[in-house]
Structure 1
Amino acid sequence: MDINKKLLLTGVILLLLVKISGQSKGKMIDDYFNTLVKNQQFSGNVLVVDNNEVVYERSFGFSDHTTKAPNTPEITFPIASISKIFTATAILQLKEKGLLKITDPVTKYLPEFPYSEITIRHLLSHTSGLPPYNAFFDKEKKQNPDKVFTNKDFLPGVIANKQPLVYQPGEKGNYDNINYLILALIVEKVSGTSYEKYIEKNILKPAGMKETVLFPLPEQFNRAEIKNYAFPHVYLHLYDEDPVRSSSIPYVKEYWRSYGFRGFADYVSTIRDLWKFDKALYNNTLLKQETLEEAFVPVKLNNGKNNPDEFGLGWEIEKDSTMGKLVYHSGAAMGLSSNILRNVTKHQTVILFDNAHFNAHENATKVMMLLNSKKVETPKKSIARIYGNILYNKGATEARETLESLRKDTLNYYLSENEMNALGYDFMGNNNPYHLPEKHFYKQAIETFKTNTDLFPNSWNTYDSYAEALLESGQKEEAVKMYQKSIDLNPDNKNGKKVLEGLLGKQKN
């Protein structure tokens, strides 16, 4: 065989190996998501790209669990805080044009801003020390509950009700939406146009993103019907079988109706449209390469160390670089999580959303691992959730029998002390994050906590929680025994000691 034929054959074999490898990676990713869906742990869309080639793309679950309308590849979804990278990109574009500097104080562009020590870099990296925006407006909200606060209200409200900083700028770090609200105001001031128009003209159009539009969360959460849209959903309780629309919860609707600020969570998009944004970054359509490289470096604190969340200029940087340099941004709303994870070393990208769970970044990371031939543990189903559902619907005997049976299948199920504990408190009904009418299932709560002490007999916390449920249901003598057991296991249980002393004191009297 001559040399040319050998080279041709070698090339064909290499291409086949690459194709087979791609197929096997796609199969592994598909197996991973099929298991998640089977376990009721994923509902959404996934797109996986390797060197500008789609390795995997699929939709799962429902865009509306009430009507059972499916998620589809074309479905739009709230990207929530992924919107922040649009805002950051806008700021960096203005920097490239020489219209601002990252080191500039905010007051250079917003003179009335009452914190002269805060710079644009602090805002981009969430190291400003500003408290959440509601700290400035909750008082007025109580006085005027029908008022809807917008960006026009922000500076007057901050000036009128100035709050102390949580820490000095650059001293620490904490992720907060207020930073990007202010950046949006700077974009408007420097560009001379509205935030929405700037993003449309300078980011969406150049990237060819025709399916990405500004659709503020207040409007999303206050519309009963939206076409081609994946509604966020939440499981109200650990023992629930199905989730409900987040927009059906009055407290959620009211919160987002009141706070209509923009700049940090305003857009809806599709998986493919976010890929266009990703490609526009790789092609340097939106920003120069040197600007991106600066954005992908964690901003240093005043002490010279990286900020705790490893935020650069709008992007978060993964600490583990064994697969390459990973940069990402997550988005989360009440009942939705999304993620864009980019391996800028290998030109790989994972984009996904889930409209019923809060684990988008975790799943994106697992997919990136599979894409790079890393081992990923098969997802397991929560025994606590199954136990809680059966206990609620069918009673203690069947719930305990199911639990004991599933414990043996460690390949497909896991049992968590903390989840069982959380389930017990869920039944008690004291923790009510959605401000719904209270429901107290003390019988089920006591059964859950008692089961947890049987499962984890050396844990002081299981007895402490069990004692709390017994006490709340009026079983003081049994509560005393459980508090004593908890303190025997953990003599440093100060709260348990305090409650026990009070109970024993009452018994003596």
Structure 2
Amino acid sequence: MKTLKFICLILFLTSLLQDAFGQNTSTQLQKYFSALHQNQQFNGNVLIAEKGKVVFEQAYGYADFDSKRLNTLSTEVPIASITKTFTATAILQLKDKGLLKLTDPVIKFLPDFPYAGITIRNLLSHTSGMPSFDVLLDSVTKARPDTVLTNKDLIAGIKNTKIPLNYQPGEKWNYDNTNFAVLALIVEKLSGLSIDNYFKIHILKPAGMTHTFFPAFTFYHYSEGEKKNLAIPYFKPYSYSDSYIRSDSILFLAKYWHNYNFRGFGETISTTQDLLKYDQALYNGKLVSEASLQAAFIPYRLNNGEYNRAWYGLGWQVDRDSTFGKVVNHTGGIAGLSAVLVRNINLHQTVIIYSIGSDNAHIYAIDAMNILNGRRVAAPKKNIANLYAATLLTTGPKAAASLLEKAKRDTANYAVNEDDFNAVAYDLLGSEAAYQLPVVPHPIAALAVFKLNTELFPTSWNVYDSYGDALRQTGHKAEAIKMYQKSIELNPKNEDGWVFCGG
């Protein structure tokens, strides 16, 4: 009787400890994401689950900055390249049915495909060596600038191409959407369905994903109905910018994705809750056999026997850090929005995040996974470099210096980081702008920040090298040589410095 009471007591105490740990984990996650949001570093949704049970879920900030429409737990979001895992799932389903082998050459299913040596496995692992579709179809879009190309136009457009492979299949790795557009064509050929309908019937329906759909046009061309509950991508043109612009207002992006309305690599709109259903359907064997999934979660070995440099498997990225078990993920990114699905296969843990106006969703997800497993994560801090640059431009050097002094005294909330100052200084220099936006250089402010970085981090060779580069670009050759010489003193292996100094 005493033994039974003792066992019951142990079970009761264990339950209390588990509840306490769960509450502490949730509190830590709340603090982390709230700090990111307060620092204006995170605007989006996060969902974290363990063994299928949601342990933390929260929406932050605006889904549409212009209308002030808030993110909610059911906000729909363009998941971009997370779609590649759908296409990989479709291919593995066809493999499980015996309709294809991963070693099959693409020409077995698409006879007009111009590259005979490429296999399905090469496409899944981004080791095909294929040029990007915009390179392959450049002559088509130049001849007909208003043309809208879809999957059915891909093979017809490239079957007689003379453009060689970038490398032999399996020789190297490079991430390219073209691989998955071709895989989508194989799915369509073998199933007799459009890729969208295949996804609906064979992935969304069995997984119970009722809030996932495929817009009529990919990226930045959403209809008013599609945008009603959509997380709208917004983009900061410069790191020091204090405001965002809508990504769909950028002419370069609108035109590019008007020409290329391809499927299979990034066109899905979903929710964090639907992605959890997808995640659970993979765990529960509703979509793909366990053997096929395990094969997908192994980094692809190149022809030389080494893992590819990205540790990319078959439609999934494999994390190198296996401290808490095998972790796989896929990110999705478009201008002004990033998303990620991270899965700890061994511990059955899932982190799903999207972030508007930031490309850091994956970084936040890894931090969340570490918190979930009891690992200490540094508290988010404000980027003082960006704030300094913005203040310098709007209020002047005195106010910027005062702000920096405040940040130095408040290291709990501000990060004074060499790389941050270097990055914002180059942004101020304005040598180029993303997505063909107008360049707005601030050379005087840029040189001031580069110089400041040498004062903040006087033992770093790189700050002198960068300052020298900026002086060179702005026509101050003598001063540039002095900075390069200082960088060489600190790092004799600085080849750029030697080249400029004539060494």
TM-score for both structures, normalised by structure 2: 0.93
Contact 2:114 2:160 in 1 (8 A): no
Q: Is residue 2:100 matched to residue 1:89?
A: no
Residue in 1 that maps onto 2:79? 79
Residue in 2 that maps onto 1:158? 158
> In 2, distance between residues paired with 1:149 and 1:46?
35
Write the mapping of 1:126-205 to structure 2, written as runs, cut at 5 A: 126-205=126-205
Contact 2:220 2:253 in 1 (8 A): no
Residue in 2 that maps onto 1:441? 442
Q: CA deviation at 1:161?
A: 2.9
- 1:141 counterpart SS class: helix
Q: Is residue 2:377 matched to residue 1:370?
A: no
Q: Is residue 2:35 matched to residue 1:35?
A: yes
Q: Deviations over 1:314-370 (max 9, x none)?
A: 212212212011111111111111111111111111111111111112211111111
Contact 2:220 2:254 in 1 (8 A): no
- 1:213 counterpart SS class: coil
Write the mapping of 1:226-305 to structure 2, written as runs, cut at 5 A: 226-305=227-306
Contact 2:250 2:435 in 1 (8 A): yes
Residue in 1 that maps onto 2:383? 382
Q: Is residue 2:422 matched to residue 1:421?
A: yes
Contact 2:432 2:439 in 1 (8 A): no
> In 2, distance between residues paired with 1:321 and 1:494?
36
Q: CA deviation at 1:216?
A: 5.9
Closer, same or farther: CA 280–403 of 1 in aligned 2, 3 Å: same
- Letter of the 1:349 partner, please give it: T
> In 1, distance between residues paired with 2:137 and 2:440?
31
Contact 1:216 1:267 in 2 (8 A): no
Write the mapping of 1:98-137 to structure 2, written as runs, cut at 5 A: 98-137=98-137
Q: CA deviation at 1:81?
A: 0.5
> In 1, distance between residues paired with 2:499 and 2:346?
56
- Letter of the 2:52 partner, please give it: N
Residue in 1 that maps onto 2:49? 49
> In 2, distance between residues paired with 1:486 and 1:4?
72
Closer, same or farther: CA 302–473 of 1 in aligned 2, 3 Å: closer
> In 1, distance between residues paired with 2:318 and 2:469?
42
> In 1, distance between residues paired with 2:155 and 2:67?
42
Q: Which moved more, 1:191-200 or 1:473-482?
A: 473-482
Closer, same or farther: CA 17–493 of 1 in aligned 2, 3 Å: closer
> In 2, distance between residues paired with 1:129 and 1:207?
34
- Letter of the 1:384 partner, please give it: A
Poorly superposed stretches of 4+, deviation over 6 Å = none
- 1:218 counterpart SS class: coil
Count of residues in Structure 1 that have an aligned counterpart in Structure 2: 501
Q: Deviations over 1:70-129 (max 9, x none)?
A: 111010001100101110111111111111111101010001111111110111111111
Q: CA deviation at 1:425?
A: 2.1
Contact 1:148 1:260 in 2 (8 A): yes
Gaps of 5+ in 2: none
Q: CA deviation at 1:159?
A: 2.1
Contact 1:87 1:183 in 2 (8 A): yes
Q: Deviations over 1:15-71 (max 9, x none)?
A: 222222111111111111111112221111111111122110001121112222211
> In 1, distance between residues paired with 2:468 and 2:326?
49
- 1:454 counterpart SS class: helix
Contact 1:77 1:229 in 2 (8 A): yes
Contact 1:464 1:482 in 2 (8 A): yes
> In 1, distance between residues paired with 2:429 and 2:321?
40
Contact 2:216 2:222 in 1 (8 A): no
- Letter of the 1:331 partner, please give it: G
Contact 2:215 2:222 in 1 (8 A): no
Residue in 1 that maps onto 2:23? 23
Residue in 1 that maps onto 2:313? 312
> In 1, distance between residues paired with 2:139 and 2:419?
36
> In 1, distance between residues paired with 2:174 and 2:216?
23
- 1:450 counterpart SS class: helix
Residue in 2 that maps onto 1:322? 323
Contact 1:424 1:445 in 2 (8 A): yes
- Letter of the 2:436 partner, please give it: H
- 2:467 counterpart SS class: helix
> In 2, distance between residues paired with 1:255 and 1:330?
21
> In 1, distance between residues paired with 2:298 and 2:132?
25
Q: Which moved more, 1:75-84 or 1:386-395?
A: 386-395
Q: CA deviation at 1:163?
A: 2.0
Gaps of 5+ in 1: 502-509
Residue in 1 that maps onto 2:353? 352
Q: CA deviation at 1:474?
A: 5.4
- Letter of the 1:102 partner, please give it: L
- Letter of the 2:392 partner, please give it: L
> In 1, distance between residues paired with 2:134 and 2:430?
26
Closer, same or farther: CA 49–134 of 1 in aligned 2, 3 Å: same
- 1:154 counterpart SS class: helix
- Letter of the 1:192 partner, please give it: G
Q: CA deviation at 1:489?
A: 5.2
Q: CA deviation at 1:440?
A: 2.0
Contact 1:221 1:252 in 2 (8 A): no
CA RMSD of aligned residues (A): 2.2
Q: Which moved more, 1:379-388 or 1:55-64?
A: 379-388
Contact 1:213 1:269 in 2 (8 A): yes
Closer, same or farther: CA 464–160 of 1 in aligned 2, 3 Å: same
Q: Which moved more, 1:43-52 or 1:11-20?
A: 11-20
Q: Deviations over 1:177-232 (max 9, x none)?
A: 11110100000011111111111011101111010001266353465781011011
> In 1, distance between residues paired with 2:421 and 2:406?
16
> In 2, distance between residues paired with 1:499 and 1:324?
48
- Letter of the 1:108 partner, please give it: K
Residue in 2 that maps onto 1:507? none
- Letter of the 1:404 partner, please give it: E
Contact 2:237 2:433 in 1 (8 A): no
Closer, same or farther: CA 222–48 of 1 in aligned 2, 3 Å: closer
Closer, same or farther: CA 265–318 of 1 in aligned 2, 3 Å: same
Residue in 2 that maps onto 1:504? none
Q: CA deviation at 1:497?
A: 6.2
> In 1, distance between residues paired with 2:26 and 2:335?
31
Percent of aligned positions that are identical:
47
- 1:275 counterpart SS class: helix
Q: Deviations over 1:357-401 (max 9, x none)?
A: 111122111111111111212222212111111111111121122
Q: Which moved more, 1:461-470 or 1:380-389?
A: 461-470
TM-score for both structures, normalised by structure 1: 0.92
Q: Which moved more, 1:246-255 or 1:100-109?
A: 246-255
